[in-house]
Amino acid sequence: MRSIWVDEAISVHQAHMSLGGMIDNLRATDRHPPLHYLILWLTVRLFGDGELAVRAPSILASAALIPALFVTGRELFDRRTGLVAAGFVTIAPLVVWYGQEARMYALFMLLGVIALWAQVKVLRDGRNRYWVAYAGVTIAMLYTHYFAVIPIAIQQIVFAVAAWRRAQAGLPIKRFLTGVWLTWLALLIAAAPLASFAHEQFSHSQAAGMGFGGAPSAGAPLSIPGSSASLYAILSNFVWAIWGYHTNSTILRIAALWPLLMLLSLALMGQRRSPATRVVLGLALGPVLILLFVGLVKRDLFEVRYFVAAVPMMLLLLARAVAGGPRRRMPAIVATTVLSLTLLIGLADQQLNPNNPRAFDFRGALEQIRSEARPGDTVLYAPDYLRDVVGYYSPGVRTEALSDAEAHGMPRDGHVFLLGSFLDDPGIAAQVGTGRYDLSQRPHRLIRTITRDQIRIWEYS
Amino acid sequence: VSAAGDPRLGPVHWPMPDQREARGRAFVMALICSVLAVWYLSWLLFGAHVGNPVLFGLLIAAESFNLIQAVGFWWTCSHQRMRRSRSPVGTEAVDVLIPVYDEPVDVVEPTVAGAAALHGSDVRVWLLDDGQRSEMEGLAARHGVGYMTRERNIGAKAGNLNNALRLTSAPYVAVLDCDHVPRSEFLDRTLGHLEDFGVAFVQTPQYYANGASGPIAAAAAAQQNLFFGPIARGKDGLDAIFCCGTNVVFRRRALEEVGGFSEDSVTEDFELSVRLHESGWRSVYVSEVLACGLGPEDMASYVSQQQRWARGCLGAIPLVLRSRLPWRARLQYLLSATYFLTGLTLLIYMSLPVIRIVTGAQPLAAATADQFLLHFAPYYVGALATVALAGYGTYTYDAFALAAGSFWIHVQAAFNSLLRRPARFVVTPKHGTIARQPRAVAPALVAVAVLIGAALYGLSRSHGAATLNNVAFASLHATVLLTAAIPALRLRPSAPLLPDPPRPAGPITRRRWPKPVAASMLAAAVLVPVAVGALGAKGLASHPTLSEQAHDAAESFFQRYVQPDGRVVRTDQGGDTVSEGQAYAMLLAVALDDRTRFDRVWHWTREYLQRGDGLLAYHWSNGRVDSDEPATDADLDAARALVLAGKRFGSDEYTHEGERIGDAVLDRETVDVGGLPVLVAGPWARSAPPVVNPSYFSPRAYADLTAARHDSRWDDLAGTSRAIATSLTAGPTLPPDWARVDSLVASGNGDVSASAAGIASPDNLAATSASPDSPASGLDALRLAIRSAESCVPADRRVAATLWPLYRRHPGSATYALGGLPDGHVTHAASYVAAAAAAKAADQNGRMQHLLDRAAEANSAHPTYYGAAWVALGRVMLTSSALGSCPD
């Protein structure tokens, strides 16, 4: 299991607070709604804060995603599509990745799929239980991630189109419209406290000069920072969504295969698309396009984890394309096998390649320090937001942010371990460089450097 | 013949959109696409992106032609007219002419039966039999229709029709191909339009009903549906619909006025339409399927049909140009006729990735794939969406692939038209064969073999993004061509929907592939990689032969130290950037054959570091240049990388930039000593005595710049640098990081001898606490061994070989005393690379490999920017010809 990383450590730290304290902390410092944090708070109380325990909710959510996608695929298309989609989601690198992360993304994906299933049942069956299920799941989605408003809005458009078509066909729509209005009412009532919560978060975030975004992000973006909209950025996010996280050069290479998308677009010509396909297409592409436009204003919001709920939809579409598209059995088997193989290769590279820019070996780095540090030694770290992850894997000696040490004076006694990460960020690299320079001016001497995945440690005597 | 199973008598699938909706949809799409086309073309034409001028010209020509066709399509579709059928007021006499040559009875009989059952007029059906077969005569008798033959079959179908025109007299003449079964209301729906006396003919769709009989028939039907759907309706809206040879009703007077059908053309209907419109007659299109026919069911039939159409339409271009047609009609005729030049553009598109992979030449330069995609993708998607929307989903991928797979027919027809070779009328076969027809797709298969061969060759040479992009393009074209070709390579699984004509008794033999086809495919697939491999063994135009280790080392450097925007970040040294690092990355990008990365690194360098005089500012940190001083090694390496990139990527712009920096190096970073130029450490080091950094001497850079610029000063610098290096390493001693040049003397035979001495640090530099007290051979100096070992000149390599006994004893030390003893215990990866270079120069290749491996291990244990750069550059320079090979 990979090391806990920054965002997870922050969440675990918050989960250790009292319930009221955590909510206050979320309101003041975080940018996400509280559902996953509440689940994590409960998990920590029940099972402790071990890596497996804090990730258990995500592991369960991603495991539940498999049958959920099967049932949804079967309901929307056919059994074969459902089975293939379930197979894909089992080995989909991004689903596996977030299934191993103590954050809300796995839950967001699961709820997105259940919401689609519930909507389809509402449209095809219309019984009250499905309306209730749909309303409950969408409320849970809203409380899991703010960007759930995008798929929910798309689903409301689907409801509107369905109502219009029923009216055009002369079918009774009163009961249907009542269901829609009641769902809206439930959503509004449930979202009211969340609105105030979000507003406070935004205000605090604005006051801190960050706006609604700017969370630390692992891995350098592919597009040229500050440049105009980059189609390669879109392609990169698409590659991440399907084939997971890899080194930038690998992503660039895969993105360079974009002419094959021309082939796909040509192959789609003349293909009839069912209403079910259109709904899934909307849920797969809608959030991407909307966040792309948002990203033109605030670049860091165009990131795959913010439209992660669209990933199962993409996998469902792929399953439909390979298993439901070709009429004959053999092409379907070949296409499914080939796509599965590419997913497996992506999964292996994502999980095992030490150069994966999103894999940070904080555990290994801090365990090594703990095994070698003596009382009186100090661990300095940069950037500041490593505080919680350094605390989670406590090295057993005094720890301090590099910025604090520079403000108050560098430690003079014992060994100093300077731990730096996110060094692709020029600002952080410069901060670490300055720290190293300052340390070399003291009576310290560089003994050695230690390298871990995405982490470097300089040890000064 | 039983009607059961004949698709011509079955239901019709024909979308009939509302005129307003169809026009509006097309108009909106046309508007959007026009904006997108301007966005793309203006970027292409005015963005200073000319790479190889010839390829750029070809690309522009192809894109312009296709844009004209696309604009024509949008213009046509946005003028669609949906005419309502008009029944005639009276009961006029109509001669229904059915020309037949060698078609089987079972194909013709439903047509004759359908024609005999036409109502709404005084119908006289004539079977015009150029085959003079008794079974046709019997068929005519069975259905009570007239039967006509000729003694001499002059003028093919046109002659047959003209003969019938002479022998018949009804005021209206309907023409039906013998495989097109008319619906009983055919005349009811069309004749009313001819009550307008200015109308010469009423055309109806040529609908292929046998789309379900196989992939070729389905694709051909989809192509027809696009033409007889939005295109024909649009031509009608522009008063330019032309006669398509069947399912058409003429006014006899109009035909007689223009002398009937042209017997000199293989597309007599097209030319007839031109003459009618020229004479002031009008035409009408009724977009309603009133007759159902059979499309080609096998590839040979399709090829035969396309050859006739392409040859006929291209041959009619001069007629259209000479005609006195209204401009709209003339443009419409030209659009239809020149469509058959599309194959030439496809040939260009297919050639570009092959040329890029094989030679490195490409049409565009100074443009990242991202920029290209940003401008091209919206245009492409818009154009594709317009076809899909205008055709109401009837145009399919298979139809597109079949058209693309016919590229060679267009090319052949274009050349035949240009050479004015006579064309021959060939009747399109009405029955599909169940045998394989590789001959019909042989040119497409050869193209596939070339594309796949080039792709495999590219993959064997590089896995860089640029190569992969071109491999993907080649694969795209190969897949499309294969989609079209595969149906011709299979035995058809079932018999065609109509029964086959009688065949000789005996089992169906599986035709073996003709030897010439198989041989040419095999030859192309094998010879392309072999030939380009052989070509590639020489010079830089070929692709690099990077070992996996060299490739990985270079990739690792990029991954760890090069930002996506092209800035090389010294993450281990405070996140700053130096011009030297940018130059290293440029060299490595060339070695990786990765133009995208090269573009990014160079663009960042140019934007942030390049000074007005062309040289590069040495240091950048915290968002700005904090030292404007240039460093000669970086300038020289950057100039070399640009010149190499110009050659590798086919970009004159890079070459010019490299030459510009090289000129600035000569002008501002050399100094005259004893009448000879000396490469100094920077402009600051020119004052006497000049200060040099021997590790800046780069014999290969001199050679590459000499080849580009033909400036003899580079040769002089090579001589003086060698002399200084020799002077400093005589003893032998290791080279110092810094040295002072006291004198240079040129002997009568051109040899240069130098007097130089190592110094602790240049006096002009501010002394720091870290400055050594005496000359040392540190991380700077080690590069002399590498650059010398890389040289093609034996005398340079001897300099490196001289150092081998010194490096061999204690390889890897970060700093040495000049005598060769390590100064301290710190090791550095780059120092192992220097020892490896010395080993190579001393012909110790086994030791070289071992030391390179140790360098990689050292850098893995203690990664540094400088170590990673030299591990990669060392592998590239010492073990590959990726930066150019030495002449034999």
A230 in B contact zone (CB under 8 Å) = yes
Average pLDDT over residues B214-222: 88
Say whether pLDDT at B787 is over 90. yes
Whether B349 and B61 have beta carbons less than 8 Å apart is answered as no
Say whether pLDDT at B308 is over 80. yes
The fraction of chain B above a pLDDT of 90, given in percent, is: 39
Residue B187's φ and ψ, nearest 5 degrees, are -75, -35
**Closest chain B C-alpha to A248 CA, distance in angstroms:** 7
Residue A399 and residue A390: Cα distance in Å, rounded? 8
Residue A146 and residue A169: Cα distance in Å, rounded? 36
A249–B468 CB contact, under 8 Å: no
Say whether pLDDT at A50 is over 90. yes
Sign of the four-CA dihedral A192, A196, A197, A202:
positive
- pLDDT digits 0-9 by tens, B714-752: 888 999 999 999 989 987 889 999 998 888 887 766 678
Whether B435 and B371 have beta carbons less than 8 Å apart is answered as no
The fraction of chain A above a pLDDT of 70, given in percent, is: 92
Question: Nearest CB to A429: which of B369, B565, B574?
Answer: B574
When pLDDT is cut at 50, 70 and 90, the band that residue B505 belongs to is very low
Residues 240-259 of chain A whose Cβ lies under 8 A from any Cβ of chain B: 247-249, 252-253, 255-259
A249–B472 CB contact, under 8 Å: no
Residue B488 and residue B419: Cα distance in Å, rounded? 30
User: Which helix (H) or strand (E) covers residue B127, if one does?
Assistant: strand B122-129
Average pLDDT over residues B318-332: 88
Chain A partners within 8 Å of B567 (Cβ):
426
- What pTM did the predictor assign? 0.69
- pLDDT digits 0-9 by tens, A270-306: 777 788 889 999 999 999 888 888 877 777 777 888 8
Q: What is the pLDDT of residue B702?
A: 93
A224–B565 CB contact, under 8 Å: yes
Average pLDDT over residues A195-224: 63
HSE (side-chain half, CA atoms, 13 Å) at B504: 3
Interface test with B, best of A260, A262, A454 (most B CBs within 10 A): A262
Chain B partners within 8 Å of A454 (Cβ):
none
- pLDDT digits 0-9 by tens, B176-217: 999 999 999 899 889 889 888 899 999 999 999 888 878 888
A275 in B contact zone (CB under 8 Å) = no
Say whether pLDDT at A132 is over 90. yes
- pLDDT digits 0-9 by tens, B102-131: 888 888 999 999 999 998 778 899 999 988
User: Which residue on chain B is closest to A447 by alpha carbon?
Assistant: B826
The residue type found at A263 is L
Q: What is the pLDDT of residue B382?
A: 92
Buried b (16+ CB within 10 A) or exposed e, B707-743: ebbeeebbebbbbbbbbbbbbbbeebbbbbbbbbbee
Q: What is the pLDDT of residue B57?
A: 92
A331 in B contact zone (CB under 8 Å) = no
Say whether pLDDT at B495 is over 60. no
- pLDDT digits 0-9 by tens, A338-385: 999 999 999 999 998 877 888 899 999 999 999 999 999 999 999 999
The residue type found at B643 is V
DSSP state of B772: -
Residues 288-327 of chain A whose Cβ lies under 8 A from any Cβ of chain B: none
- pLDDT digits 0-9 by tens, B388-443: 888 888 888 889 999 999 898 888 888 887 777 766 655 555 555 666 777 878 89
The fraction of chain A above a pLDDT of 90, given in percent, is: 57
A249–B862 CB contact, under 8 Å: no
- pLDDT digits 0-9 by tens, A165-185: 999 988 888 989 999 999 999
Residues 413-472 of chain B whose Cβ lies under 8 A from any Cβ of chain A: 463-466, 468-469, 472
Whether B82 and B18 have beta carbons less than 8 Å apart is answered as yes
Residue B365 and residue B48: Cα distance in Å, rounded? 8
Of A62-71, B35-44, B114-123, B499-508, least confident by mean pLDDT is B499-508
Average pLDDT over residues B519-540: 46
More confident residue, A449 or B500: A449
Whether B65 and B345 have beta carbons less than 8 Å apart is answered as yes
- pLDDT digits 0-9 by tens, A444-458: 777 877 878 888 888
Say whether pLDDT at B678 is over 80. yes
The 3-state DSSP class for residue B244 equals: coil
Residue B726 and residue B125: Cα distance in Å, rounded? 102
B400 in A contact zone (CB under 8 Å) = yes
B476–A222 CB contact, under 8 Å: no
> From the CA atom positions of chain A, what is the Rg in Å?
24
Q: Which of A51, A83, A62 is nearest to A324 (CA)?
A: A83
Q: What does each C-alpha distance from B51 to B381, B474, B652, B759 come to in angstroms?
A: 25, 19, 7, 46
Whether B829 and B867 have beta carbons less than 8 Å apart is answered as yes
Whether A417 and A379 have beta carbons less than 8 Å apart is answered as yes
Say whether pLDDT at B535 is over 50. no
B359 in A contact zone (CB under 8 Å) = no
ipTM for this prediction: 0.79
| Mean pLDDT for all residues in chain B | 84
Residues 6+ apart with CB under 8 A from B786: B800, B833, B834, B837, B870, B873, B874, B877, B878
User: Which residue on chain A is closest to B398 by alpha carbon?
Assistant: A267
A263 in B contact zone (CB under 8 Å) = yes
Residues 335-364 of chain A whose Cβ lies under 8 A from any Cβ of chain B: 355
Terminus-to-terminus CA distance in chain A, angstroms? Answer: 33
What stretches of A77-104 show up as alpha helix (H) in DSSP?
Answer: 79-91, 93-99
Sign of the four-CA dihedral B13, B14, B20, B26:
positive
In B194-247, where do the E strands start and end?
Answer: 199-203, 207-208
Average pLDDT over residues A182-206: 90
Average pLDDT over residues B643-663: 87
Residue A31 and residue A27: Cα distance in Å, rounded? 8
Q: Let me know if A419 is exposed, middle or buried by CB neighbors in 10 A (0-12, 13-18, 19+).
A: buried
Chain B partners within 8 Å of A221 (Cβ):
564
Say whether pLDDT at A9 is over 50. yes
CA A70 to chain CA centroid, Å, is: 22
Q: Which of A237, A207, A384 is nearest to A301 (CA)?
A: A237
When pLDDT is cut at 50, 70 and 90, the band that residue A86 belongs to is very high
DSSP secondary structure letters along B656-713: HHHHHHHHHHHHHSEEEETTEEEE-SSGGG-SSSPEE-GGG--HHHHHHHHHHH--HH
Question: Nearest CB to A430: which of B567, B574, B596?
Answer: B574
User: Which residue on chain A is closest to B573 by alpha carbon?
Assistant: A433
Whether B617 and B664 have beta carbons less than 8 Å apart is answered as no
User: Which residue on chain A is closest to B574 by alpha carbon?
Assistant: A433
Average pLDDT over residues B747-760: 77
Residue B833 and residue B868: Cα distance in Å, rounded? 11
Residue B567's φ and ψ, nearest 5 degrees, are -85, 130
Pairing of strands B146-148, B181-182: unpaired
B543 in A contact zone (CB under 8 Å) = no
DSSP secondary structure letters along A384-398: GGGHHHHHHT--SSE
Residues 6+ apart with CB under 8 A from B252: B95, B165, B169, B170, B171, B172, B173
Q: Both tokens of residue B760? A: 């602790």
The 3-state DSSP class for residue B209 equals: coil
Whether A311 and A241 have beta carbons less than 8 Å apart is answered as yes
Of A159-173, A213-227, A408-422, B729-743, least confident by mean pLDDT is A213-227
Residue B653 and residue B651: Cα distance in Å, rounded? 5
When pLDDT is cut at 50, 70 and 90, the band that residue B845 belongs to is confident
